[in-house]
Amino acid sequence: MQIAPRKKEKRIMATRIVVGAQWGDEGKGKMVDYLAQNADLIVRYQGGDNAGHTVVNDKGVFKLHLIPCGIFYDRCAALAGTGMVVNPDELLKEIADVESKGVDSSKLFISERATMLMPYHITLDELFERSKNGIGTTKRGIGPAYADKARRIALRMGDLKNLDYAKGRLESVLPLINLELKAFGGGEVDLKQLFSKLQYWSYKLAHRLVEPVSFVRKYIDGGRNVLFEGQLGVMKDLDLGIYPYVTSSNPTVAYACASCGVPIGKITDVTGVIKAFSSAVGQGPFPTEMGEAESEAFRGSGENVDDEFGARTGRARRLGWLDLPVVKYGAEINGYTELAVCKIDKLDSFDKIKVCVGYELDGRLLDVMPSTSELERVKPVYREMEGWKCDTTRVRKIADLPENAKKYLRLIEEYTGVKVAYAGVGPDRDSIATL
């Protein structure tokens, strides 16, 4: 596949990574969809169908779990990247859904090196969550699939191109998988039935498989705009987040480069996406968590697309005030060149708005992000700000926001050292105030 630069357009080439800067659910889907209008290729670089990236455009409301958000633009190719775990059944459902709404899926490709998420991974996840060691996962099989990748017994999506090889792999790994299922109280996997699934997946998906490193590099070396899309946020990073209450991959910038085979020097921009407040799902420390009464002012009923319920699970999110130590921690790790602050409009009605500007532990102020066990004990130090008490949903320039809203954004900039380039003021694609 030869990718040549577009000669007639005068655009600055960008290789941009979009990262969740909190606990996930920050509004990455909206921002990726917005930024993808100038992209030639978008790459989802980690996670699986535990993601729920919500996009609202002229074709409807979409909750994407595996397909990169750039799929809605005719000019933009989309790659499910190497760092992902791909459930073929869920991917086929998602392809059928977007196609039913008039979206062209022919430009969707899959890394042949991506891990194949199998039905037994979902079963193992469900069984584990029922045990005393459950941490509140989505039960989509993500953790077991990544575990099998790490212990080198997973199948890859590229195995769908060689079914004899895939069958041999299944024959070698299923005895171990069946022992694990039995230990957790589950039933055995039938090789014949599972191989039949692989044959079907091969028929439906093999034509989308590509060698990912050369595929991505042709776009970058051709001077094209490439956008990398992460899932979840920095506090759910396997290594740098609130372990063990984390995902099984790395949502951070470095993993985008590692999993896609892209040198770090090729990255030109890093967009950190935050909510104007905080939200989290699953268990683990959440220092600024509100009480139920306060949370209800943010959550909504679930009837609206931007209400605070998980796009993947439908679970009510845990809600809290904006936690600036978390945002600064993410900035230090990821090197954000800009921030996008989503859901500013959700603060429109508040007289007073609290912002966490530090942590206190055992009577002393902390200057580093503490370990999980310490984070569970910290007391947030709040700064109270005046609300703006007016509608921001029609604002399209940051300079036109109410003065107190601009003060709110300036506090974020001053604390993190990163400029705010975008402010989300509603769920729709164009509901964004820019510089």
Positions marked active-site: 25, 53
End-to-end CA distance of the chain: 37
The Cα 319–Cα 31 span in angstroms is 21
| Residue 163 CA: distances (Å) to CA of 90, 189, 202, 320 | 20, 18, 8, 49
The Cα 175–Cα 188 span in angstroms is 9
The torsion angles phi and psi of 191, rounded to 5 degrees, stand at -60, -45
The Cα 62–Cα 54 span in angstroms is 6
The torsion angles phi and psi of 291, rounded to 5 degrees, stand at -75, 170
- The torsion of the CA quartet 130, 135, 141, 142, rounded to 10 degrees, works out to -170
The β-bridge partners of 382 are 356
Report the DSSP pairing between strands 269-275 and 15-20: parallel
Q: Give the list of residues 6+ apart from residue 373 with CB closer than 8 angstroms, or none.
A: none
> Tokens 């602050």 map to which residue?
341
Q: How far is CA 350 from the centre of its chain?
A: 29
Q: Which amino acid is at 292?
A: E
Q: Which amino acid is at 338?
A: E
171 burial (CB, 10 Å; 0-12 / 13-18 / 19+) is: exposed
The Cα 274–Cα 304 span in angstroms is 20
The Cα 401–Cα 405 span in angstroms is 6
Tokens of 354: 């609290």
- The torsion of the CA quartet 102, 105, 107, 110, rounded to 10 degrees, works out to 160
Q: What angle do CA 286, 429, 96 make, to 5 degrees?
A: 90
The Cα 253–Cα 379 span in angstroms is 29
